[in-house]
Copies of this chain bind each other. A is one copy, B any other.
Amino acid sequence: MSARAGIVVTGTEVLTGRVSDRNGPWLSDRLRELGVDLAHISIVGDRPQDMRAALAFMAEQRMDLVLTSGGLGPTADDLTAEVVGDFQGREMVLDEQLEQQIAEVVRPLMTRWPGLDVAAIELGTRKQATIPAGATILEPIGTAPGLVVPPQQNAAGPTIVALPGPPRELQPMWERAVQTEALRAAVCGATTYRQRMLRLFGMPESEIAETLRAAGREGVELDRLEITTCLKRGEIEVVTRYEPDSESVYDAFAQIVAERHSDALFSDDGSTIDDQIATLLDRRTIATAESCTGGLLAARLTDRAGSSRYVKGAIVAYSNEVKVAQAGVAPELIERHGAVSAEVAQALAEGARERLGADLGVGVTGIAGPDGGSEDKPVGLVWLTVAGPGDATMTRSVHLPGGRADVRDRATTVAMHMLRRALLGA
């Protein structure tokens, strides 16, 4: 049986939705890698009784491990260390070595913002260095130390790992937490699960249910696989988790998916479409001319480090004058066919390629809404062209569902998949 874990995310700003939680999902992935089964995420504000209630719930649910994020700062509303110490029945003690260490981290900040209240800062440092007796300290990345706090000797209950809220501090600190004996003791005996992902594009999600039934009929022991599917930015992700001795069952399942959906399946090794485009481009260069996506496709292509090797640039041709003057679209085309048309998408792609001197050009023009639609050209209609490599061109229209933001985002996904086909010569 695998160890069970819960995550308690603290912070009124997260509870009220003003800041979205990035720690829960990230920790969820890390737990999966450890073979630990995440059963609950609880989000609470900065009230000690609410946090205590969440910890009590996790203990009742027999978690072996509880991770908390946030509330380790120097101010009065940072309560995590104290609440966790109290919950585990451990006294709070000042660790002088830790106090010195934090003081050294804080010193340069005091130089940067002169005029800060020194006494208040020393008080904060002392607070952060006051920790539950018997806790393992995780060295600060920023100023906040993390803590691994086991239950009292011989007592039942979860080991609690208290991590700071900022992802940039939490993430490296988690790597330290995993090395501690206290954490290893809490999760020992966990099975190491394997996890694989299939990604598909261009078919309805419901088809996967039918494929699962077909796999069952063909004798694949589906009860040895934990399969979840979800739709994400227009792509279907099929995630399968299994114990190592079910590898052959997974292989049989993956093969049936590959056979039934050979056109739609584009990734079986975890790679995203963005990874694939970066690899497939190799040394070829790319440029875009975008209307409705307003630069989102260029932003997506330049999202990754090193993209300056292959992205030349883009023309965001939002107005018709810019389409003509910058992207070289013939004004007659816009007049005759309208700005949202196969002809203009083609001219944009060719214009981007020629004017920006790239090997491939992508043109996107559509109606993102909410206004501007007609019976002929409804909101969600997008025309796309990929020009290149070489003489090849590919033009397609799609009718995308959802609101303005959805249409714009999905259009970039469609463009990425057209690029993939163009680069594979398919």
Q: A residues bordering B, Cβ < 8 Å?
A: 12-13, 15-20, 24-26, 28-29, 32, 38-47, 50, 53-54, 57, 60-61, 75, 113, 116-117, 120, 168, 204, 206, 209-210, 228, 230, 232, 237, 239, 287-288, 290, 293-299, 301-303, 305-308, 311-319, 321-322, 325-326, 355-357, 369-371, 402-405, 408
Contacts and interface: CB of A to CB of B under 8 A. Distances in A.
B75 A209 contact: yes
B369 A305 contact: yes
Contact of A319 (B47, B117, B313): B313
Nearest to A356: B322
Contact of A232 (B18, B54, B311, B315): B18
A28 B15 contact: yes
B54 A40 contact: yes
B41 A40 contact: no
B318 A308 contact: yes
B20 A20 contact: yes
Given A13-B228, A305-B371, A316-B316, A210 B326 contact: no
Given A295-B295, A355-B326, A312 B318 contact: yes
A24 B13 CA distance: 12
Contacts of A41: 15, 42-44
A193 to B, nearest CB: 12
B321 A312 contact: yes
Contacts of A301: 294
A15 to B, nearest CB: 6
A393 B228 CA distance: 54
A312 B322 contact: yes
Contact of A313 (B24, B230, B317): B317
A295 B316 contact: yes
A39 B45 contact: yes
B316 A314 contact: yes
A387 B278 CA distance: 34
24 contacts: A13-B230, A15-B41, A16-B25, A20-B25, A39-B44, A40-B44, A40-B53, A43-B43, A50-B61, A53-B61, A113-B204, A113-B206, A116-B206, A290-B295, A294-B314, A295-B297, A296-B299, A298-B316, A303-B408, A307-B318, A312-B321, A314-B314, A319-B356, A326-B355
